[in-house]
């Protein structure tokens, strides 16, 4: 093919479009001549564009004058922008080079990803500002603090922009644009840039998701055609296999984690955000390849009511600049449709509750180097060009509106203080249940957002905690605690609620306390107050044995490590009181008993091992003084059941919901340090299932496996093992003949719709995007060992429930009769959910199937129900057959 002589995808749109059209006809000889002539003109055109600095500067932006001696991005990168996808190391080195070459920027490593990739940003400003960056930051914060307007000598309040790219790894045009944006600011020899940078600090965050980004880049680069041009959307290049690369290492969507802050990438980013409190945050994404371009404002009726109207007005005012920039390069776009500003856990909405203007950008994705779309071939270079255009328009718009943005931010925090004072009550008060780890994780989340939590006086042995309203993040505090049931619209881009306190099992109340009370209380410091070493209490050696309670979130991890070390452990199936640690204590079902006399190791070795592992986890172990209980079962009773080291397999691969699978993996890995073997369902036929005793199937997207595999899973269960089905996996198991659980779909459509134009709203109102419902559990069931409150806050996303079987003992968690706690549900749904099953235990042969229809560890932060997963693993197989249908 003649086309191979081009050897590059450059210059992008026009040439490629023509080449593709012509190459269709190139079998005809005379057209080959035409194609050849055209190619020559393309190469000529290319040379023209690559003159001066040797790269296509005009294609990407023509308005900034640059220093012609500054090395072009292709020199720093080794290839033309858009030609290849730079991997994460190349991105990082590019940033290093810019920071070395330009006095206008410094590079800062703010954290590390799960896979230990450096997470770095560029901070861009005038050189003299970079010399006093800390003073400027402090002055910026002081200027918006209603209690403190003082700045150091020579410091001023800069306009602060945070431009953040590629939170989803497979949306790389943002990163390409971020690098070119930084390059232009570094290379600029331009009065306007000097004028702007003299008063502005720009944080450029090119890759918010380093691990997902590298997964994507290594795929598309390795599938890239080198000579021929393949833009067919069916090519492997554009179709990455499961689990794709949108997510991070644990298959989490980082653009839902701005509020829960469960991952190192989010923690680093939010700390930086809170340290700088920017005026504007741009969040650059990609959408389907056949789309055009979107920028906010989003759907007006779906803006969170806590976001001030001025925020949306400023978003719209800045949008004029994006419109101009895209009009100039003939790129079609849309606003105020599809995407919304509702869930505060997203990058473009999180800032909106904190005096900052968050803006979402969505570029149609080439998802590779050049892909055919309904609008013609879309090149990677074009997508970079468009994101670069809106990076600059964000800067231009913010600069033109700098006075309004600064006034808005200052007024916002004054208004927050007034609102906090006007509110009924002045603090949230809560007590914690019996799991210290949940408090620790809750305080960590609050501390990351810079929210102050105090520990008050102890009453009846229970500690109470207070979150005062009067603090700069009052709105954030509200969104963390508030339950919301009324909505201006019934359509949501994502979940309709996220009451974070409920995720940690906290039911808070609004109280009024005297200001002195807060002054007297202890401000909690996550770093010092919650280290495992601080919580751990050593215990005496005992000839009888040891007991630890199952309520600690990490207790399953402690049990697992002990079993792995060969320690024999039993679990109490009934409560008891016994003499321990020189006193008397009550223990509930689920308490773990380690008898000294039945071990193969010596008493001293057992004591030392227990001490070491319990200290790491911060778990209290009790030393037994007697072998006779004061009440309830005695330690030698058969009601203590012997435990085995579980060998766990989790099914992954195509057809499995990777977000759900990732949350399970994350739970066992990050929190419990318990290994689970991940096996893709395509490989399941080659694995000996008898090597395992627990199989977990995470929620599915139309999973289908061959009959012989389904048969092997049926035998696996009936041979006496445990199958745990999460979410849609119950539906799959039913259709595969593995389970008899019945699924009741909730109503999904209106009886009638008045007009064609009402269809989307009328049908959409039946979606269950995500809400919090109340359920009641039987705490004596092994699936609820470790819990002391039978009321559960369940995160529900499915438009179906498990049908309540005749044997109600087999449904140990049922929805309450008035189930909705927070979030949106169609008015017909509460009655349909009411008193149906959220969980079921099923008996097949000698084995058990545990159905967990609502993901217990939703998005890795729904801590309050996560323990159920461990209970299913360790105790699911022991459930009495009379309590399983």
**Residues at the contact surface with Zn ion, assessed by CB under 5 A:** 168, 171, 285
Closest CB to Zn ion among residues 205, 693: 205
Closest CB to Zn ion among residues 104, 285: 285
Strands 791-796 and 159-165: unpaired
Closest CB to Zn ion among residues 175, 229: 175
380-400 and 309-328 helices cross at what angle (nearest 10)? 130
CB 362 → Zn ion: shortest distance, Å?
A: 7
DSSP state of 81: B
Distance CA 197, CA 738 (A): 65
Closest CB to Zn ion among residues 111, 347: 347
Closest CB to Zn ion among residues 215, 714: 215
Structure tokens at 389: 């255009």
Closest CB to Zn ion among residues 92, 253: 253
Instruction: Convert 541-574 to b/e letters by CB count within 10 Å (16 or more is b).
Output: ebebbbbbbbbbbbbbbbbbbbbeeebbbbbbbe
CB 287 → Zn ion: shortest distance, Å?
A: 7
Structure tokens at 201: 């600090």
CB 257 → Zn ion: shortest distance, Å?
A: 13
Structure tokens at 68: 């012609």
What are 427's strand-pairing partners? 468, 511
CB 9 → Zn ion: shortest distance, Å?
A: 23
Closest CB to Zn ion among residues 373, 551: 373
Instruction: Convert 250-261 to b/e letters by CB count within 10 Å (16 or more is b).
Output: bbbbbbbbbbbb
Closest CB to Zn ion among residues 167, 409: 167
DSSP state of 723: E
CB 171 → Zn ion: shortest distance, Å?
A: 5
Closest to 369 in 3D by CA, of 2, 6, 1: 6
Closest CB to Zn ion among residues 173, 440: 173
3-state helix, strand, coil in the chain (%, to 5): 40, 20, 40
Closest CB to Zn ion among residues 168, 714: 168
Closest CB to Zn ion among residues 365, 588: 365
Structure tokens at 634: 């005695």
CB 358 → Zn ion: shortest distance, Å?
A: 14
CB 284 → Zn ion: shortest distance, Å?
A: 8
Q: Say which residue the tokens 């913010």 belong to.
A: 398
Peptide bond into 11 cis (omega under 30): yes
What are 774's strand-pairing partners? 793
CA separation (Å) from 367 to 84, 202, 231, 658, 711? 12, 28, 11, 19, 39
Q: Are 629 and 578 in contact (CB under 8 A)?
A: yes
CB 286 → Zn ion: shortest distance, Å?
A: 6
Closest CB to Zn ion: residue number: 285
Peptide bond into 243 cis (omega under 30): yes
CA atoms lying within 13 Å on the CB side of residue 44: 6
| Cβ burial, residue 460 (10 Å; 0-12/13-18/19+) | exposed
Strands 280-287 and 159-165: parallel
Distance CA 548, CA 365 (A): 53
Instruction: Convert 813-843 to b/e letters by CB count within 10 Å (16 or more is b).
Output: bbbbeebbbbbbbbeebbebbbbbbbbbbbb
DSSP sequence for 229-241: ----TTSGGG-PP
CB 860 → Zn ion: shortest distance, Å?
A: 18
DSSP state of 303: S
Closest CB to Zn ion among residues 260, 545: 260
CB 281 → Zn ion: shortest distance, Å?
A: 15
Closest CB to Zn ion among residues 168, 385: 168
Q: Say which residue the tokens 């149609």 belong to.
A: 364
CB 666 → Zn ion: shortest distance, Å?
A: 20
481: number of Cβ within 10 Å: 19
CB 168 → Zn ion: shortest distance, Å?
A: 4
Closest CB to Zn ion among residues 339, 576: 339
Closest CB to Zn ion among residues 283, 842: 283
CB 349 → Zn ion: shortest distance, Å?
A: 13
DSSP state of 19: H
Q: Are 830 and 819 in contact (CB under 8 A)?
A: yes
**Whole-number CA gyration radius for the chain:** 30
Conformation bin of residue 346: beta by default, left when phi > 0, alpha when psi is -120 to 50: beta
Closest CB to Zn ion among residues 285, 367: 285
DSSP sequence for 571-630: EESS-EEEEETTEEEEE-TT-EEEEGGG-SS-HHHHHHHHHHHHHHHT--EEEBS-SS-S
CB 167 → Zn ion: shortest distance, Å?
A: 6
Closest CB to Zn ion among residues 217, 777: 217
Closest CB to Zn ion among residues 220, 869: 220
CB 721 → Zn ion: shortest distance, Å?
A: 40
CB 722 → Zn ion: shortest distance, Å?
A: 37
Distance CA 507, CA 481 (A): 9
Instruction: Convert 660-682 to b/e letters by CB count within 10 Å (16 or more is b).
Output: bbbbbbbbbeebbebebebbebe
CB 24 → Zn ion: shortest distance, Å?
A: 33
CB 367 → Zn ion: shortest distance, Å?
A: 12
Closest to 180 in 3D by CA, of 55, 288, 266: 55
């Amino acid at each position: 093919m003649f086309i191979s002589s081009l050897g590059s995808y450059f210059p992008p749109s026009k040439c490629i479009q023509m080449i593709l059209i012509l190459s269709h006809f190139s079998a005809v000889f005379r057209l080959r001549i035409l194609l050849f002539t055209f190619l020559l003109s393309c190469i000529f055109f290319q040379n023209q564009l690559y003159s001066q600095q040797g790269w296509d500067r005009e294609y990407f932006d023509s308005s900034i004058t640059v220093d012609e001696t500054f090395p072009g991005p292709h020199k720093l990168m080794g290839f033309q922008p858009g030609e290849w996808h730079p991997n994460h190391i190349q991105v990082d080195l590019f940033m290093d080079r810019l920071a070395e070459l330009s006095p206008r920027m410094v590079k800062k490593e703010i954290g590390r990803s799960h896979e230990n990739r450096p997470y770095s940003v560029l901070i861009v400003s005038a050189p003299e500002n970079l010399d006093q960056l800390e003073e400027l930051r402090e002055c910026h914060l002081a200027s918006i603090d209603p209690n403190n307007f003082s700045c150091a000598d020579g410091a001023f309040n800069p306009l602060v922009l945070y431009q953040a790219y590629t939170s989803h790894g497979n949306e790389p045009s943002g990163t390409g644009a971020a690098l070119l944006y930084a390059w232009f600011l570094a290379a600029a020899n331009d009065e306007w840039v000097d004028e702007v940078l003299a008063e502005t600090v720009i944080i450029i965050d090119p890759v918010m998701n380093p691990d997902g980004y590298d997964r994507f880049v290594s795929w598309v680069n390795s599938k890239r055609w080198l000579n021929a041009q393949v833009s067919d959307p069916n090519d492997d290049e554009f179709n990455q296999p499961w689990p794709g690369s949108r997510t991070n290492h644990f298959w989490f969507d980082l653009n839902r984690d701005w509020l829960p802050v469960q991952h190192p990438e989010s923690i680093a980013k939010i700390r930086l955000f809170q340290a700088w409190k920017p005026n504007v945050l741009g969040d650059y994404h990609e959408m389907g390849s056949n789309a055009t371009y979107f920028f906010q404002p989003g759907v007006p009726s779906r803006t969170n009511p806590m976001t001030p109207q001025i925020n949306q007005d400023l978003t719209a005012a800045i949008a004029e600049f994006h419109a101009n920039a895209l009009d100039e390069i003939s790129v079609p776009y849309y606003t105020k449709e599809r995407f919304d500003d509702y869930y505060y856990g997203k990058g473009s909405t999180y800032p909106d509750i904190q005096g900052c203007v968050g803006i979402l950008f969505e570029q149609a994705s080439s998802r590779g180097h050049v892909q055919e779309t309904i609008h013609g071939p879309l090149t990677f270079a074009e997508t970079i060009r468009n994101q670069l255009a809106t990076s600059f328009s964000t800067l231009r718009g913010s600069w033109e509106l700098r006075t309004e943005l600064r006034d808005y931010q200052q007024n916002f925090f004054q208004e927050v203080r007034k609102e906090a004072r006007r509110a009924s009550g002045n603090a949230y008060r809560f007590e914690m249940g019996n799991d210290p780890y949940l408090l620790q994780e809750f305080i960590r989340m609050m501390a990351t957002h810079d929210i102050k939590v105090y520990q008050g006086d102890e009453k009846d042995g229970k500690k109470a905690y207070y979150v005062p309203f009067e603090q700069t993040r009052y709105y954030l505090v509200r969104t963390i605690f508030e339950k919301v049931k009324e909505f201006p619209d019934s359509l949501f881009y994502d979940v309709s609620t996220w009451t974070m306190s409920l995720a940690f099992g906290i039911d808070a109340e609004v109280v009024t306390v005297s200001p002195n009370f807060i002054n007297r209380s202890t401000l909690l410091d996550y770093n010092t107050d919650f280290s495992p070493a601080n919580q751990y209490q050593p215990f005496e050696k005992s000839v009888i044995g040891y007991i630890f309670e199952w309520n600690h979130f990490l207790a399953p991890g402690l049990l697992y490590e002990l079993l792995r070390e060969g320690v024999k452990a039993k679990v109490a199936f009934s409560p008891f009181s016994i003499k321990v640690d020189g006193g008397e204590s009550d223990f509930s079902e689920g308490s773990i008993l380690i008898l000294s006399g039945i071990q193969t190791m010596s008493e001293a070795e057992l004591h030392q091992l227990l001490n070491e592992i319990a200290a790491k986890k911060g778990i209290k172990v009790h030393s037994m003084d007697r072998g006779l209980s004061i009440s309830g079962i005695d330690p030698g009773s058969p009601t203590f059941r012997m435990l085995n080291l579980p060998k766990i397999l989790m099914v992954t691969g195509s057809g499995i919901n990777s977000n759900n699978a990732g949350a399970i993996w994350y739970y066992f890995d990050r929190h419990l340090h318990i290994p689970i073997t991940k096996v893709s369902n395509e490989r399941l036929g080659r694995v000996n299932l008898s090597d395992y005793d627990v199989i977990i199937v995470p929620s599915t997207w139309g999973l289908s496996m061959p009959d012989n595999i389904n048969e092997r899973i049926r035998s696996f269960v009936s041979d006496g093992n445990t199958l745990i089905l999460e979410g849609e996996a119950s539906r799959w198991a039913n259709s595969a003949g593995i389970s008899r659980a019945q699924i009741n779909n909730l109503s999904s459509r209106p009886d009638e719709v008045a007009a064609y134009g009402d269809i989307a709203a009328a049908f959409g109102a039946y979606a269950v995007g995500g809400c919090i419902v109340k359920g009641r559990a039987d705490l004596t069931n092994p699936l609820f060992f470790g819990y002391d409150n039978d009321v559960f806050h369940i995160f529900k996303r499915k438009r179906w429930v498990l049908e309540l079987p005749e044997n109600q003992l087999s449904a140990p968690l049922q929805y309450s009769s008035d189930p909705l706690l927070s979030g949106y549900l169609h008015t017909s749904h509460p009655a349909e959910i009411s008193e149906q099953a959220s969980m079921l235990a099923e008996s097949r042969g000698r084995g058990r199937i545990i159905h967990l229809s609502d993901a217990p560890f939703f998005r890795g932060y729904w801590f309050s129900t996560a323990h159920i997963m461990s209970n299913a693993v360790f105790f699911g197989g022991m459930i009495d057959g009379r309590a399983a249908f």
